[in-house]
Amino acid sequence: MPYAVTKDHVRLHFEEAGKGTPIIFLHEFAADHTNWEPQMRYFSRGHRCIAYSARGYTPSDVPPTADVYTYKHFYTDALAVLDHLGIDKAHFIGLSMGSYSSLQIGLNAPERALSMTLAAVGSGSSIENLDAFRKQCVANAEQLEAIGSVEVAKATREAPSRIPFLLKDPRGHADFYAALARHDAKGSANTMRSFQGGRPSIYTLTEAIRKVPTPALIICGDEDDNCIEPSMFLKKHLPAAGLAFFPKSGHVLNLEEPALFNEMVERFIALVEAGRWPERDPRSMG
């Protein structure tokens, strides 16, 4: 089983397939590397594709203390995987937590990113609700430690942003939550407490975001209420960003609408590689 090793000696399990320009997939809080399978199969036809499980998600290592689960650890872990594979630059495709980490690559290591796909990005960013969100993250972490992943999966599978997935694809939805129930509860609690509850709101990063030159595709489900305003904010401030809304869609975009997701991202990457995804022309701004 292949692993990359981070600077703080955490082993990250990864899988790869295909040949060509590299693509690395970064998963959301409720997922792991296996949830990118529809994309790994599709994009590996023309690209070298890498998916890995973040720290705290088996078969990657599960460090015991929450202080090594910060957003800085998560985005540098993605770079550690690329370094292990000898890859200088890649297309970053993230969902939710993975989108936040991909954005941090654009902010802190733009020379490593050929492009960023930011899907279901920005939940928990509202400044006015930030304190309440962080308190809820602590409560969620304590719940994971108290009752375990199986019970938490049962309690969260009908969260509002997950309902579109349930309605479209009950079988896929059931598989997703069966996988969530197998997650390491301590790893998930540490991730919830430190990454989810400790990351800066994207609204506090406006000036830095305006300086990111990396081509970006922002994708949001129109029924993913917590991500709509952050997606529009990023479209406004990222210089080379495009924005797409998926109709009647929630949070798990790559699994809810795999064909649409693959088609949209494939077109974006092709335009980037052709040099046809420029920064927005000032003449188009009202």
pLDDT tens-digit readout, 256-285: 999 999 999 999 999 999 999 999 998 888
pTM of the model: 0.97
CA separation for the pair 263, 243 (Å, rounded): 14
- Number of Cβ within a 10 Å radius of residue 15: 17
**Average pLDDT score, the chain:** 97
Complete domains list, the chain, with CATH: 3-124+200-284 (3.40.50.1820)
- According to the model, what pLDDT value does residue 155 have? 87
- According to the model, what pLDDT value does residue 286 have? 72
For 43-84, give the DSSP string. HTTTSEEEEEPPTTSTTS---SSGGG-SHHHHHHHHHHHHHH
* Ordered mean pLDDT values, 10 residues apiece, the chain (286 residues): 97 98 98 98 98 98 98 98 98 98 98 98 96 97 96 92 95 95 97 98 98 98 98 98 98 98 98 97 85
- According to the model, what pLDDT value does residue 52 have? 98
